[in-house]
Amino acid sequence: MVEQSGSGDVGHPDPVPLYSLKAGSGGVMVRAGSEPRLRRRLAELGFRNGSRIEVVQTCSGGARIVRIGQSRYALDKRTATDIYVG
């Protein structure tokens, strides 16, 4: 379920790309990476199915700053487009 901080849950029928979320929104990761190498690297960083991801900031060029647990990561637009949350 895609959520917005402080405003409750906003249901979404299908998973959406992390890139489409605004700052303060988040969700639970349902899939990531169309390439095995990218999937493996994201898993090493903690991006696994069932992980809670929050978009902290949107940046120029489409990049996103995201939080998983206590860690923050900067993702380029291509990677943020390849991570789906529900």
Q: Which fold does the domain 3-85 belong to in CATH?
A: SH3 type barrels. (2.30.30)
pLDDT in tens, 16-67: 999 999 999 999 999 998 899 999 999 999 999 999 999 999 998 999 999 9
pTM over 0.75: yes
Confidence (pLDDT) at 13: 62
Query: What is the Cα–Cα distance from 81 to 74, expressed in whole angstroms?
Result: 13
Measured CA distances, 5 to 21, 37, 59, 84 (Å): 12, 32, 19, 18
Q: What's the token pair of residue 20?
A: 């489409």
- Single-letter amino acid code for the residue at 16: V
- Taking 60 as the threshold, does the pLDDT of residue 7 lie above it? no
Query: What is the Cα–Cα distance from 7 to 17, expressed in whole angstroms?
Result: 20
Provide the residue ranges of all domains of the chain, joining segments of one domain with +. 3-85
